């Protein structure tokens, strides 16, 4: 994390699961200042009790409010954009609110970063942005497109934008593991479909991947980590082995399998060994792509059901324990 030495970094959604873990990690570096930007004063108060580092600053604000972002971005070198409406059901029921936060908020971040001279911005995405079937995924796809295009919008001003896309973070707020643990005393675990698969990534892995992506980015990339898959039924057996599984049917807007790289994206995606990069289709990008990297086949699709790496029930038990 040497690139953070004597730098100021801001995290939108800084009191969320990812934000808190990311901030905890970067405070071990020689970062100069960390700004926690979020709209929940209670969560900021609770975070102040947990963290006692004088490099932390707390800003109450909403990404919908461009004026507040302009104030918060003064003197900031790097931004991690983790704020979003991310619950599928809430977005379906409150569609205009999801658009205001996930799309309009993205535009506000881009414009404020360019105008205030921020060096680099990484926005967090989701597997649901690849071939979206629900409003949350559609808003995040629009957000991804905005951040990629933001590099052209910035012109020669120097601000660069990239996106990190991965699946559900196990153990984060609202994820299925805490839910399974909460209801295991009933002796029954509801599963929407016995065929359902998901990518698996821990919070620590997600945070480290974002940190690495800051160091790697040129501007315009969508970074996708190579991570293992799991069957949701195996996860339920790992969390609550004595419970009966009830198959209740797929909910509206829910996918059977996660997709992070579609076949159409694969045509301009490069394999970097431990991760993929969906490259932007800018006329200037080809001059920056390394010839020794491996481009994917046209029919490639990075989906949780087509993965080569799978976690067993025993491996899932060990991850949950850790």
The residues annotated as belonging to the active site are: 128
d(CA 32, CA 9): 8
Return the bridge partners of 247, or none: 191
d(CA 249, CA 273): 37
* Cβ proximity of 14 and 38 under 8 Å: yes
d(CA 165, CA 221): 10
First CA to last CA across the chain, in angstroms? 25
The sign of the torsion formed by the CA atoms of 69, 72, 73, 79 equals negative
* Cβ proximity of 47 and 39 under 8 Å: no
């Amino acid at each position: 994390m040497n690139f953070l030495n004597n730098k100021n970094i801001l995290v939108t959604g800084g009191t969320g699961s990812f934000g808190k873990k990311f901030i905890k990690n970067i405070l071990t570096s020689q970062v100069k200042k960390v700004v926690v930007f979020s709209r929940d004063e209670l969560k900021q108060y609770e975070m102040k009790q947990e963290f006692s580092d004088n490099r932390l600053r707390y800003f109450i604000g909403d990404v919908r409010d461009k004026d507040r972002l302009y104030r918060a971005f003064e003197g900031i070198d790097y931004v991690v954009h983790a704020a979003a409406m991310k619950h599928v059901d809430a977005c379906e029921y409150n569609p205009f609110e999801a658009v205001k936060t996930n799309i309009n908020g993205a535009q506000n971040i881009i414009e404020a970063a360019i105008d205030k001279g921020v060096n680099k911005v990484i926005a967090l995405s989701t597997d649901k942005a690849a071939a979206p079937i629900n409003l949350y995924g559609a808003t995040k796809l629009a957000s991804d497109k905005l951040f990629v295009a933001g590099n052209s919008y910035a012109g020669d001003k120097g601000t660069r934008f990239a996106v990190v896309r991965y699946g559900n973070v196990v153990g984060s707020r609202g994820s299925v593991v805490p839910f399974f643990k909460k209801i295991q005393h009933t002796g029954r675990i509801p599963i929407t479909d016995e065929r359902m698969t998901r990518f698996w990534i821990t919070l620590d892995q997600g945070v480290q991947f974002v940190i690495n992506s800051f160091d790697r980015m040129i501007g315009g990339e969508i970074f996708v980590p190579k991570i293992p898959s799991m069957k949701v039924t195996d996860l339920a057996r790992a969390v609550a082995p004595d419970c009966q599984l009830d198959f209740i049917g797929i909910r509206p807007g829910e996918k059977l399998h996660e997709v992070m790289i579609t076949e159409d994206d694969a045509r301009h995606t490069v394999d970097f060994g431990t991760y993929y990069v969906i490259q932007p289709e800018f006329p200037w990008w080809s001059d920056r792509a390394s010839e020794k990297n491996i481009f994917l086949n046209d029919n490639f699709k990075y989906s949780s059901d087509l993965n080569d790496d799978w976690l067993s029930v025993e491996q899932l038990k060990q991850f949950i324990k850790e």
